Amino acid sequence: MQLTMTGRTALITGGSLGIGRAIAARFLEAGAGVALVARRREVLEEARAALLSAGHAGPLIAVAADISSIEGCSRAFGEAERQLGKIDVVVNNAGQSMRGNFLEVTDEMWSDDIDLKLMAAVRLARFAMPGMIQRRWGRIINILNTGAKAPPAAGAPTAVTRAAGLALTKVLAGEGAKHNVLVNALLVGRIESDQWVRRAEAEGKSLADYYADMGRMVPMGRVGTSEEFANAACFLASDAGSYITGTAINVDGGLCPVV
């Protein structure tokens, strides 16, 4: 199946590294214009240069913004819309794996996690949906993790905010369906990303050994690639996914115990 996004535009948060960058590359390959959003300007520009040097012609823009605040969300969406003309697809990918024993999680940690993972998605949907409804075409994809369906012990606050992201997905899907604004979630399992690179370094392991150890926990026997995850996102963002809304798809090699 040839997936095409020609004429579409997408805003991707957490777009400078890992899964977000892979999604950007896949969208560009399918013909979309893309706005990469992240906090660090230098990392964004490196990502943009690498994507363009790989033959992705764009349009591809980089917007430095901290979307954990309403001001950052407004800046990110406003600048992306100004440069791309419209936003057809929003991929809420920004996040971090903040977790610990419940009694050790402070109010500040809860607030930071909620602002970045939940409220950023709420605010960007609020900015994007009016235009999508008017054009009768839109896609919102919330990138969560499998802890949203199967929260582990010592998984707060991240599993709780991810579970809230599932509820948000269903609410938005119900309201957007009659306007052809489709809202879905993709749940990350063990996927190659920069967070694992940092953890491997912290534990003094080679990345290959670290991924091999992780892969033993996965029914398919390996970790997934960011490109495999990006393929699922591209399917949902294209017209090929035109009858899918309000669902949460595990991209995890069979790891999650909940369907």
Structural domain count, the chain: 1
Structural domain contains residue 207: no
Query: Taking the model in full, what pTM does it have?
Result: 0.97
Rounded CA gap, 17 and 183, in Å? 23
DSSP string, 26-93: HHHHTT-EEEEEES-HHHHHHHHHHHHHTT----EEEEE--TTSHHHHHHHHHHHHHHHS---EEEE-
**Contacts of residue 215, Cβ cutoff 8 Å, sequence gap at least 6:** 190, 221, 222, 223
pLDDT for the residue numbered 180 = 98
pLDDT by residue, tens only, the chain of 259 residues: 789 999 999 999 999 999 999 999 999 999 999 999 999 999 999 999 999 999 887 799 999 999 999 999 999 999 999 999 999 999 999 988 888 999 999 999 999 999 999 999 999 999 999 999 999 999 999 999 999 999 999 999 999 999 999 999 999 999 999 999 999 999 999 999 888 988 999 999 999 999 999 999 999 999 999 999 999 999 999 999 999 999 999 999 999 999 9
pLDDT of 259: 95
Residue 70 resides in a domain:
yes
Per-residue pLDDT, 178: 98
In a domain, 35, yes or no: yes
Is 67 domain-assigned?
yes
3-state secondary structure of 106: coil
Residue 86, in any domain of the structure: yes
Q: In CATH, what number is assigned to the domain containing residue 48?
A: 3.40.50.720
Q: How many Å apart are CA 177 and CA 123, to the nearest integer?
A: 19
Gap between the Cα atoms of 256 and 192, Å rounded = 17
- Find the domain containing 230 and state its range: 9-193+225-251
Q: Is residue 218 part of a domain?
A: no
- 103 burial via Cβ count (<10 Å: 0-12, 13-18, 19+): exposed
- Give the C-alpha separation, 35 to 117, whole Å: 19
* 209 lies in some domain: no
In 1-51, where do the E strands start and end?
Answer: 9-13, 33-38
Q: Is residue 204 part of a domain?
A: no
